[in-house]
Amino acid sequence: MSVGIVLVSHSAKLAEGLAELAAQMAPDVTIVPAGGLADGSIGTDYDEVVAATQRADRGDGVVLLYDLGSAQMTAELAVESLADPSAAVVADGPLVEGAIAAAVAAQSGQDRKAVAEAAAAAGIPDDLQPVEPAAGEAELELELRNDVGLHARPAAVLVRTLSGFDAEVTVRLGDQEADGRSVLALMSLGARQGDRIFLRARGPQAAAALEKAKELVDGNFGE
Amino acid sequence: MTCKAEGVAAAVRAAAAVVAEHRVELIDLDRAIGDGDHGENLNRGFAAVVAALDAGAPDTPGGVLKLVATTLISKVGGAAGPLYGTAFLRASAKLGTAGDLDVPALLEALRAGLEGVQARGKAVAGDATMVDALIPAVSAAEKAAGDGGDVAAVLTAAADAADRGAESTVDLVPRKGRASYLGERAVGHLDPGARSSALLLRAFAEAAR
- Calculate the average pLDDT of chain B: 95
Measured between beta carbons, the chain B residues lying within 8 angstroms of A153 are: 175
B156 in A contact zone (CB under 8 Å): no
> For residue B21, is pLDDT > 50?
yes
For the ranges A148-162, B25-39, B42-56, B65-79, the lowest mean pLDDT is seen at A148-162
pLDDT tens for chain A, 223 residues long, are 799 999 999 999 999 999 999 999 899 999 999 999 888 888 899 999 999 999 999 999 999 999 988 899 999 999 999 999 999 999 999 999 999 999 999 999 999 999 999 999 887 665 555 544 446 788 888 999 888 888 878 888 888 888 888 888 999 988 888 888 877 778 878 888 888 999 999 988 888 899 999 999 998 888 7
Q: Which residues of B124-160 are buried (b: 16+ CB within 10 A; e: fewer)?
A: eeebbbbbbbbbbbbbbbbebbeeebbbbbbbbbbbb
* A148 at B interface, C-beta within 8 A: no
Q: Which of A151-160, B116-125, B179-188 has the lowest mean pLDDT?
A: A151-160
- As for the ipTM of the complex, it is 0.80
| pLDDT tens column, A28-73 | 999 999 999 888 888 899 999 999 999 999 999 999 999 988 899 9
CB contact under 8 Å between B176 and A69, yes or no, is: yes
Q: B37 to chain A: which residues are within 8 Å by CB?
A: 43
Q: Give B148-172 pLDDT, tens digit per residue.
A: 999 999 999 999 999 999 999 999 9
Instruction: Tell me what percent of the residues of chain B surpass a pLDDT of 90.
Output: 87
Q: Is the dihedral of CA B1, B6, B12, B18 positive or negative?
A: negative
Q: Do B86 and A45 touch (CB under 8 A)?
A: no
B3: phi then psi, degrees, rounded to nearest 5 = -135, 135
Interchain proximity A46–B85, CB inside 8 Å: yes
**Which chain B residues touch A152 with a CB distance below 8 Å?**
124, 175
Q: Does A43 touch chain B (CB under 8 A)?
A: yes
pLDDT at A125: 63
Residue A114 CB burial class (10 angstroms; 0-12, 13-18, ≥19): middle
A153, B175: Cβ pair inside 8 Å?
yes
Task: Mark yes or no for CB contact A77/B82 under 8 Å.
Answer: yes
CB count in 10 Å sphere of residue B189: 20
pLDDT of A128: 55
pLDDT at position B52 is: 97
A10 is known as an active-site residue: yes
pLDDT of A124: 65
Active-site residue, selected from the candidate residues A10, A31, A63, A150 = A10
Q: Which pLDDT does position A133 carry in this prediction? A: 44
Instruction: Give contacts of A44 with chain B, Cβ < 8 Å.
Output: 77-78, 81
